[in-house]
A and B are shown apart, each in its own frame.
Chain A
Amino acid sequence: MAELLSALFQRPNFVVFVILFLWGIYIMAAHPNYVKKLIGLYIVQTSVIFFLVAFSAKNGATVPIVSGDMAMLDASAFANPLPHVLTVTAIVVQVATLGVSLALVAALYRQYGSLDEDEVVQRVE
Chain B
Amino acid sequence: MTFELPLLIFLVMTAAGAILVKDLISSVFILGTYSFTLALVWALLGAVDVAFVEAVVGAGLATVFFLLTLFSTLEKDTRLRRSPMPWTAMVGLSIVAILLLYGAADLPAFGDPGSPASTHISPFYLENSVGQTRTPNVVTAILMDYRSLDTLVETIVIFTAGIACALILRKGDS
Q: Residues of A at under 8 Å CB distance from B? A: 3-4, 7-8, 10-16, 18-27, 29-30, 32-33, 35-36, 38-40, 42-43, 46, 49-50, 53-59, 61-67, 70, 73, 75-76, 78-85, 87-89, 91-93, 95-100, 102-107, 109-110, 114-116
Contact = CB atoms under 8 A, between A and B. Distances in A.
Interface of A is mostly: helix
Nearest to B129: A66
Contacts of A27: 19
Contacts, number: 258
A105 B69 CA distance: 8
21 contacts: A8-B101, A22-B93, A22-B96, A25-B93, A30-B85, A33-B79, A39-B18, A39-B28, A39-B31, A42-B62, A46-B58, A55-B118, A61-B46, A66-B129, A66-B136, A75-B122, A83-B47, A89-B154, A96-B157, A98-B65, A104-B168
A106 B73 contact: yes
A87 B50 contact: yes
B49 A84 contact: yes
B123 A81 contact: no
Given A46-B35, A100-B161, A106-B73, A59 B111 contact: yes
Given A35-B66, A105-B73, A73 B127 contact: yes
A1 to B, nearest CB: 11
B97 A58 contact: no
